[in-house]
Structure 1
Amino acid sequence: MSPAWLLALIPFLAGLAVTATYAVQLVTEILRRTTGNVIEATVTGHVASREATYATLHPVVSWTAPDGTAHERALPDDAPARALPEGARVRVRFDPAHPELAALDSDARHRQAVTGVCVGITLWAGTLIVVIWRLAYVLNHLREYVSWRY
């Protein structure tokens, strides 16, 4: 086998990294869903952040917790800013012990995390299967060569 097979490490390691990243997001979403409270909130504005090469608008949402504490923060969201105009009522899921982990109550982030985990597993498991298949082929060919020679 040539050293070019070491290039198989690239999709394998990339798959592991993608799986780990989205697995953390998936665990966070599951914890938010199991321990969080759902509260009605109001969009009070938008704040821009530069996530990639373009600016993204995130809704700034304010709500009052059951204990009377007022909160206002920019929440990560995949919906376009025009879908959440100022004054719109939205549902926020948050844990009173960790209000900084609040997020809009939607399935988008959960679906994104599940899809990311599946893509990551496909990358590393597919690469592993191809490498094992190739090793089995080479070892079988070598066994036939050795038995033919003697």
Structure 2
Amino acid sequence: MKDIFDIKQPLNLNLLNDNILLISFILSILLLLIFLLVRWHVNSYKLQEEINEKIKTLKDSFIETIDGLNPLESDFPQKLNFLLRSFLNDYKILPWSIRMTKNEILRRAQNKRLLEDFVIECEKAEFSKNKLTAQDSNNLKSKAIYIINNI
């Protein structure tokens, strides 16, 4: 009977018993790394939500201020230019999230560039020798609100 069936040796558990401390240490390190990764992932989502809320609050406050400006005042371009520059400075200070995709980063950079170009346009209107007409002032105001809304 012994010749027909091969007898398998029992599983050698001595190797596992000898290295149980090392194995448990490695497993605990892996669990700690997984926990830290999940925690970082959740915190990055919270950070992104905070950044979006700050941008929304900033946009709303500046839109209300710009909307309250009277385009018929003689110093309208100066006020608008000052407001846009302060918005641009505040917008640059806002942190960029780690979780932003390449498209979101490009969109924010394009928005910043568009706002900078519009600030230059307002400076030209501010220092122009020709006085702005009511239509030109309204156009600047509308464009400022449109740009800030779309950031």
TM-score (norm 2): 0.35
* Between structures 1 and 2, the one with greater strand share: 1
Larger radius of gyration: 2
TM-score (norm 1): 0.35
